[in-house]
Amino acid sequence: MPVTVPKPAVLQTSEASISYHDVGSGPVLLVLHGGGPGASGWGNFGRNVDDFKDRYRVIVPDQPGFGESRFTDDRGGDYHSASARVMAEFLDKLGVKKAHVLGNSMGGGVALRMAMHYPEKVDKLVLMGPYFRGFGHQLLAPRHEGDAHLRGYFPNPSIEKMRALIEAFAFDPSTIEGVEDVIKSRYEATLRPEIQAGYMRMARPATDPDPRSAFDKVASVTNKTLLIWGRDDRFCHLEYAFFFMSALRNSTLVVLRDTGHWVQVERRAEFARYVCAFL
């Protein structure tokens, strides 16, 4: 049975129109989705909200170019920095002085950029398989099997391509509740020209004016950080977890066996326990 998505609110920043859900009360937990085709905030984290809303005010936005959020005055630059800039202003407009930030994959990279560029806005970080351009060296693991599914999805999306992508996210696709509905809804989203354009904007390389190495950039983040990693992640292999733990000196790493890139979906109950205990 398809999951009913509650009606989102919309907030305009100087650069983007942001669609978001705001649920619960308590310390603010900003939740940032990944960058796969058809991704959205509620699509990635809607079920997890129930696990956090009694303890936290959970804010779940669609990042610019995804879901129902759009750049309205794109100032350029790499996507992670642009979205971090938008998210910092988004929190300001909501009256949020400081938030814990939780991010998966691309969302983890945006969370790191927020901590780097807007440290006054970020309390603790929770990162699951974060992607930060240029970071880490692949030494032992095979080439990322998941990358081919991402690179080959556009310009000709299909239900078969989406099925292969979603199944690659998980160690065991049967752990994805309502997996057929997830495949169908995300595939249909990718048929929209504005979604395709948003994905291409995210994937477009851009020069970072910061001359430091990627390692030094990540190492500049001093926030207390929880890294949660799927042992069988096909997109961000386990070896990268140790690079991040090395760079983030104030971090703790949890590795879950028989788990892929979607820790929050595949190991929902354990994920919630680890996050709540850490925060």
Could you give all domains of the chain from N- to C-terminal order, each with its CATH number? 9-204+212-278 (3.40.50.1820)
pTM for the model:
0.95
pLDDT by residue (tens digit) across 215-235?
A: 999 999 999 999 999 999 999
204 sits in the region (left: phi over 0; alpha: psi -120 to 50; else beta) called beta
pLDDT tier for residue 1 given thresholds of 50, 70 and 90: very low
d(CA 111, CA 119): 10
- Three-state secondary structure along 4-24? CCCCCEEEECCCEEEEEEEEC
Mean pLDDT of the chain, nearest integer: 94
CA–centroid distance for 207 within its chain: 21
Q: Considering the candidates 21, 80, 100, 261, report the single residue annotated as catalytic.
A: 261
pLDDT by residue (tens digit) across 55-102?
A: 999 999 999 999 999 999 999 999 999 999 999 999 999 999 999 999
Sort 76 into a burial class: Cβ within 10 Å, 0-12 / 13-18 / 19+.
exposed
Specify which residues 126 forms β-bridges with.
102, 226
132 sits in the region (left: phi over 0; alpha: psi -120 to 50; else beta) called beta
Annotated active-site residue 261? The verdict is: yes
Determine phi and psi for 150, rounding to 5 degrees.
-75, -50
d(CA 214, CA 216): 5
| pLDDT (mean) for 14-31 | 98
Q: How many other β-carbons are positioned within 10 Å of the β-carbon of residue 138?
A: 12
pLDDT by residue (tens digit) across 225-275?
A: 999 999 999 999 999 999 999 999 999 999 999 999 999 999 999 999 999
